Copies of this chain bind each other. A is one copy, B any other.
Amino acid sequence: MSHNTFGHMFRVTTWGESHGPALGCVIDGCPPGIAFTLSDIQTYLDRRKPGQSRFVTQRREADEVKVLSGVLPQEDGVTFITTGTPISLMIENTDQRSKDYGEIARQYRPGHADYTYDVKYGLRDYRGGGRSSARETAARVAAGAIARKVLPGVTYRGALVQIGKHRINRDNWDWNEIGNNAFFCPDPEMVPVWEDYLDEIRKAGSSVGAVVEVVAEGVPAGLGAPIYAKLDQEIAAGLMSINAVKGVEIGEGFNAAELTGEENADEMRIGNDGRPRFLSNHAGGILGGISTGEPIVARFAVKPTSSILTTRQTIDKDGKEVDLRTKGRHDPCVGIRAVPIGEAMLACTIADHYLRDRGQTGRLD
């Protein structure tokens, strides 16, 4: 019954709304003895932060994280060591413009959670979307920065692979390009195409969907569990919990529906190092819910931002039909900022399963 918690041994509980004083998370179950600095977290928060380019929302948030508990500050003044007790991280909201929410407090924005929150709870925090705001994901990214340190030797990376109908050419994939553009795009040839396309979308006050791919390399074989704690299932759940995500796939994903057993099989041989290796990775690094040692590959689809400048039909709290045009600062493609969030969810899920596996089996990878 954890509506705002994910993970089992590495548990993350987030709290906070878009326009309250702060948001944050509590990480419970983190192993003791892990060293980190504020900048280890800030690096990832900055990747998710709004206002980084013209293709994301212009809201200005410092997104500075504070560590309130669960650590022993070291004498160097910058290093924290985890103590095994709950780590409380807090990010203050600084750009919460006070304004009149008169209409928005009463009208249901299409595609947003306004109507469903009101039906469920009988009221809602209409200020900036309240709890349903994507601002909540800052807490995940902060937690993910700690999670990355739990199982050493794993690289968690993400990339945007599709905006609208424009898909990257996978043959051009270069992880080094990710930081060279505003899209976390691994295909340098796609960058100008997306720039032109998104400029058009942005100027039209429109928005568009996207697909993100996240990859974890260096995950040892044996993490995950059969049946209802499958590693792929929990990765899917983690990614699906990100705002605006409508689909998740592992390895071949939906494409597997078109393959034959021969095409989809990942055959095995013994590598030069004497260790088992797979000749392909259609499985995306997971078989029977358990990691194979191959890179774990997941993709998720992000719907277009629901806030657009075109007037749409909707109703209000009193059941009156109204026409609504969303104002304010918004992302033309929320999929962009979803990249670091997807990485964080992947890191948290794998950290969790590493501890669960170690608990049940006593294996130390």
Contact A85 B130 (CB under 8 A): yes
Of A44-52, A53-61, A355-363, the segment with at least 4 beta carbons within 8 Å of chain B is: A355-363
| Cα distance A13–B243 in the bound complex, in angstroms | 24
Residue of B nearest to A227 (CB): B4
Contact A270 B304 (CB under 8 A): no
Does A257 make an interface contact (CB < 8 A)?
yes
Contact B268 A305 (CB under 8 A): no
Contact B292 A115 (CB under 8 A): yes
| Cα distance A304–B251 in the bound complex, in angstroms | 13
Contact A28 B16 (CB under 8 A): no
List A residues 301-347 near B (Cβ within 8 Å).
Answer: 301-308, 310, 312-315, 319-321, 335
List A residues 93-149 near B (Cβ within 8 Å).
Answer: 108, 110-113, 115-117, 119-125, 130-132, 136
Contact B246 A246 (CB under 8 A): no
* Identical copies of this chain, number: 4
Of A168-176, A178-186, A188-196, A279-287, the segment with at least 4 beta carbons within 8 Å of chain B is: A279-287
Task: Determine the chain B residues whose CB is within 8 A of the CB of A268 once the complex forms.
Answer: 108, 110, 115, 313-315
Least CB distance from A91 to B in Å reads: 11
Contact A261 B208 (CB under 8 A): yes
Task: Determine the chain B residues whose CB is within 8 A of the CB of A8 once the complex forms.
Answer: 1-2
Some 30 contacts from A to B, beta carbons below 8 A apart, are A3-B28, A3-B29, A3-B360, A4-B86, A5-B228, A9-B356, A14-B228, A17-B70, A20-B68, A24-B88, A84-B361, A85-B125, A85-B131, A110-B267, A116-B222, A117-B226, A162-B257, A164-B260, A209-B264, A233-B237, A247-B248, A247-B256, A261-B306, A261-B310, A264-B306, A270-B319, A276-B315, A355-B359, A362-B364, A364-B364
5 interchain residue pairs of minimum CB distance: A113-B288, A359-B359, A247-B249, A116-B290, A207-B261
